[in-house]
Amino acid sequence: MLHNENSYTLSFPGTIMFGCLTAPESGGATPVADCRKVLAALPDELVRRFREVGWGLVRNYTEYFGLGWQTAFGTDDPDEVLRYCAANDIGACWEANGRLRTVQRRSALIRHPRLDHEVWFNHVAFWSVWSLAEELRAYLLDDLAADELPYNTMFGDGKPLTEQDVEALARAYDAATLRETWQAGDVILVDNLLAAHGRDPYRGDRMILVAMGEPVDLTDCAPTVPPAPTLDSR
């Protein structure tokens, strides 16, 4: 799914550069979508809800699904994880089984600090359980409760997203997406606030290098809701 890099953090790269060293045999494009067009294509009521309450992200770090917390946070010290989360508006708790659970609320819409354009900027579709392949979703939900999934997204007040909500997001991304077939030596320069990016499936070898820079602080982007380490019914 298309997304804006590090949209869930308090600062994020303003610019991303992709460079192709080895082009795949087929597929493997890096699609991009103008986030202004994505926003314009979304249903008004969906945009209103996200503008008012933001979006929520819940992650459960386990040894079985996704990254373990040691890899994700780059430390073996549980106290260091808690300090990092406290400093970055992320709610964190250690459960009785030793697993880490994090919760955070972020703004789904921001303004480009230089152009003052409002954009759709988040990972709502990327991490939604409704974006998973049907077989994988059924497998996970057969073994885990909904609140035990490795990750899931919701409205910022904790209300769940419906399958229809995520389908509407996918249609808006699709309508705004452009893609070019990679050739060795190609470079794509992306404004991370104006454009979401993704990766298409591919065959054969593929080597795309990525560089990120020009960090932007969320506070400079007029978020519609403040970041918070909890989901509430505002």
- Measured CA to CA in angstroms, residue 155 lies from 123, 146, 225, 227 at distances of 12, 15, 12, 13
Residues 6+ apart with CB under 8 A from 146: 129, 152, 160
Per-residue pLDDT of the chain (234 residues; tens, 9 = 90+): 999 999 999 999 999 999 999 999 999 999 999 999 999 999 999 999 999 999 999 999 987 777 889 999 999 999 999 999 999 999 999 987 778 999 999 999 999 999 999 999 999 999 999 999 999 999 888 988 878 899 999 999 999 999 999 999 999 999 999 999 999 999 999 999 999 999 999 999 999 999 999 999 999 999 999 999 999 754
All domains in the chain, ordered by first residue: 11-220 (3.60.130.10)
| CA distance linking residue 213 with residue 186, whole number of Å | 19
- Measured CA to CA in angstroms, residue 115 lies from 92, 220, 221 at distances of 35, 12, 10
Place of tokens 């949209």: 7
